[in-house]
Structure 1
Amino acid sequence: MWFKNVKPYQLTQPLSLDDEDLTRLLNEHAFRPCGSQDLATMGFASPFSQARGGNAMFHKVQQRYWFTVKKQEKILPAAVVNAELDEKVAQIEMETGSPVGKKARSDLKQEIQTRLLPQAFTKNSFTHGFISLGDNLVVIDASADGTAEAFLALLRKALGSLPVVPLSRSSLQSELTHWLTDAPPEQITLLEEAELKSTDDTQSVIRCKNVPLDSDEIRIHLDSGKLIQKVAFEYAESLNAVMTEDGAVKRLKFSDRIKEETDDIPKDQVEARLDAEFALMSAEICELLNYLKQALNLDSDGI
């Protein structure tokens, strides 16, 4: 279990969780498969369900709680629906000699979708996240804001409240640009990848890869007023990632040194391996986020 992306949030007030109550609350919002007329369903599932492990609705290591949201969607291709709709509309127009109006066409489309839904295939997806009570952090493995917000909304619904704000509530363009023009924080090593964006009306974007960020080429873009949108970095020789101006951490990759710490756990001991991986991963992510909070002065964001 290794997150690939991090959408970080900070609790605005301390949170306490009772394991027994938490199990009950999550079970009240447990995942259920799509019914015949459901387009999609979403609910909590066991973090170990993808590995055919236990049935626990959360997993806890120290004061870090791991949650999994499962979503099931009906796959009903628009091309299939529209093709059948066009045939039906053509038939009606031929029989009546009159064009089918917009309202009637919409009603026909709805009828077709309702009839085809029970036959549609389903697609399952999983979103993982955790709450670290000791760090007042909520971390979601998501690359898109919508996915992260859906996870938070379901968790908030189950718990009754979840007072969180994004770890960074303002753009980090200036701070990330200073990493290039001045120097990065002590434990951050910049890698050869970045995205720069102009601040004028053109909004031009420059993406570079395998280019030293202290090169003349990059310096010219910085001198022209472009700011850093994304930059690849290594943290404390433990992970590589891309830091974005909205505070998200993407393309997270942990070092072999970290991953090798679970090598002595037999592969058939699935739950033990997942437990160890989560413990290592969540600790490293929290360490990184706490470091970034200090390095980027995020604690002054008004929390």
Structure 2
Amino acid sequence: MTPLSFDFSMWFKNLQLYRLPADWRITPAQLEEQLAKIPFQPCGTLTMQSAGWVPPKNDEDALVYTLDRHWLLALCTEQKLLPASVVNQVTHDRIEEMEQQQGYRPGRKQAQQIKEQVTEELMPRAFSRRRTTQVWLDTLNGWLAVNAGSANQADDVVQYLHKAVENFSLRPLVTQTSPAAAMTDWLSSGDAPAGFTIERECELCAPDEEKATVRYARHPLDADEIPAHIAAGKRATRLALTWDDRIAFVLTDKMQVKRVQFLDVLQEEAESQADNGDSFYSDFALMTAEFSRFLPQLVEALGGEAKEGV
């Protein structure tokens, strides 16, 4: 199977996984009202960063896109890019000019004030970078997934959910068997769990202070050196897998699902459904249906979900 040859901008490429509270009773209308308290506003003249909620579908105003039990949200962040090297250079030139004029070099406090003034002067000319991060909620099965490549990015999104939604609680997904232990066992035995296939990429890391690391890319993982590294104490921290010949991904020891790729069979389904109407609707329906099947099987492969508080 090969990955999609075109880009699905709506399709998730990463899954940072959380569990909704068991007593989740918020309706889409209630969530919409609460997200509207923090709408996205572009950075002002003297603002370096801004974030807020935006419609996940470009041609609609709703902040919560719903398809039965599946909801989609989007947080937009904007950051002004003002390189420190530019600020430092202009500040240096300003200090040199002042030293020549007054005959002595400005003190530390005055130099800091000059730097702050230079920053304010340059900010209106700074470039802005925007990023939209999507959030999928499966309100029936209690999933919340952030389409973020890093835990920090996901944490920022969760923080804005906490700001917007009253009495909101969320916990990361925790499984009975840690991903590191499970992946190490799969590599050691050469057997993937039912429904999954081990692909040609992994990372092995020693648990000691030096963190000696070995990475394999486009390399058969049934070679003799893999069990040898494991026997020497290294543990798997990343492993490329395929689920049901439909989704390729990389699982990490932090319970992150990264570099999600939808394979040929899904491409064909997406293309056939797109011909019948709204492609955003059909893509979201297909993606959420796949994730709703994929996630329970991934959790089962990791020994099931750990009970809360254990």
TM-score computed with the length of structure 1 as normaliser? 0.92
Given the alignment of the two structures, is residue 112 of structure 1 paired with residue 118 of structure 2, yes or no? yes
Given the alignment of the two structures, is residue 22 of structure 1 paired with residue 22 of structure 2, yes or no? no
d(CA) in 1 for partners of 2:98, 2:160: 44
- Tell me which of 258, 271, 283 is aligned to 1:250: 258
d(CA) in 2 for partners of 1:266, 1:173: 39
- Tell me which of 164, 181, 191 is aligned to 1:158: 164
Question: Identical aligned pairs, as a percentage?
Answer: 27
1:17-64 CA distance string (max 9 Å, x none): 222222222222111111111111111111122xxx212112111211
1:158-210 CA distance string (max 9 Å, x none): 11133211113795211210111233211111011100011233310000112
Q: Aligned Cα RMSD in Å?
A: 1.9
Look up the match of 2:104: 98
Tell me which amino acid in the other structure corresponds to 1:205.
Answer: T
Q: Is the 8 A contact 1:188 1:235 kept in 2?
A: yes
Look up the match of 1:144: 150
d(CA) in 1 for partners of 2:263, 2:178: 28
Q: Is the 8 A contact 1:178 1:184 kept in 2?
A: no
Tell me which amino acid in the other structure corresponds to 2:33.
Answer: R
Given the alignment of the two structures, is residue 196 of structure 1 paired with residue 204 of structure 2, yes or no? yes
- Tell me which of 173, 179, 186 is aligned to 1:179: 186
Look up the match of 2:238: 230
Gaps of 5+ in 1: none
Tell me which amino acid in the other structure corresponds to 2:44.
Answer: G
- SS at structure 2 position matched to 1:88: helix
Look up the match of 1:8: 17
Q: Is the 8 A contact 1:13 1:163 kept in 2?
A: no
d(CA) in 1 for partners of 2:143, 2:108: 49
- Tell me which of 217, 223, 233 is aligned to 1:215: 223
Look up the match of 2:3: none
Look up the match of 1:294: 300
1:64-115 CA distance string (max 9 Å, x none): 1100011111122222211110111111122223222222222111111112
Tell me which amino acid in the other structure corresponds to 1:288.
Answer: F
11-20 vs 58-67, which deviates more?
11-20
Cα 1:86–1:265 change in 2 (3 A) is same
- SS at structure 1 position matched to 2:90: helix
Tell me which amino acid in the other structure corresponds to 1:203.
Answer: K
Tell me which amino acid in the other structure corresponds to 1:128.
Answer: Q
d(CA) in 2 for partners of 1:2, 1:27: 24
Write the mapping of 1:50-61 to structure 2, written as runs, cut at 5 A.
Answer: 53-61=59-67
Tell me which amino acid in the other structure corresponds to 2:137.
Answer: I
d(CA) in 2 for partners of 1:205, 1:55: 48
